Structure formats: C-alpha cells, structure tokens
Structure 1
C-alpha cells in the first residue's frame, strides 16, 4: 500500500491517529503524513514519515500498530510541540 497522505492509512490506523492527535490538542491537519520505502531495507517495509513544521519522525509500518504507540510516545514527550504550525 502506498501512503501519500494520512487519509491513505488503513481505517483502523487512521482512527487511532486521529484519537492520538485529539488527546494531545492536535488535529490530523497539523501533520504531514507520507510513506516511503525504507532506504536501509526497501524490500521489507515502508516507513511512515510524520512531519510538523521543521520536525519529522519516521515510523516503521507493521501489522501490530507499533508506529501508533511510538507516535503517541513522541506526542507525550512533546516532540512535535516544539515546532510551530507550518
């Protein structure tokens, strides 16, 4: 599956992403979400890149939804709060 925007995420992941954003005072529109092949291992997976302003984080997409837990950990750590909305 190719991900160009957050709307391309599987429905369950999209709903979880929206809830994580809302719990931390964000909306999905505050983030730029895209997918790209893992440059270190292009045959075994895609990375989900989440950007806000000058800050970006890459998450490996897996069937267990681990990227969502990592994204929420970054929100809890205020990683994306350092960047103004852009």
Structure 2
C-alpha cells in the first residue's frame, strides 16, 4: 500500500470544494486538518482511503466517489475533531 501526504488543495476539485464547504460550515479552515491518501491497488472496490488528522485525533474514510466528505461532516457534527 502506498500512502501519499497531501494538502487539501491536492484533492480533486469536487472533493476540495465539498471539503472546504464542510469545514466552513463547522467553523474550521481546511488548513486545520492534515490529509493523507492511501491507495490499495489490490482492492479496486475501495479506490482510496483518506485519513484526516487534527491534533491527536485521526479518522480514516473509504473514498466511495466522494462519500468520505459526508462521513467527515458527520464526525465534525459529533465533535470528533474538537
């Protein structure tokens, strides 16, 4: 498995716009989070795993064509990253 550290600006435009909107809705800036993407070429069903980190907290999401942003927002709503 290969892990690539990215800034949110390295995300595809749709994911980046959704990530920015979700962050703003919850009082954060995208720069408050560190992102990494892990691609598993042996698992075509899950194209990427995106890990979001803030402080000592981290959560990983399966991409599922952008669905990870909705799951990330659910975690923000539950104050997981506060």
- Give structure 1 stretches of 5+ with no counterpart: 82-86
Q: Tell me what 2:69 maps to.
A: 68
Deviations 1:40-63 (A, max 9, x none): x84322100000000000011122
- Match status 1:16 vs 2:24: no
State the 4+ residue runs in structure 1 displaced beyond 6 angstroms: none
d(CA) in 2 for partners of 1:80 and 1:4? 19
- Cα displacement (A) at 1:5: 2.1
Tell me the TM-score normalized by structure 1.
0.80
Higher strand share: 2
Distance 1:33 1:11, change over 3 A: same
Q: Tell me what 1:43 maps to.
A: 43
Q: Tell me what 2:78 maps to.
A: 77
| Number of residue-to-residue matches in the alignment | 77
Tell me the TM-score normalized by structure 2.
0.83
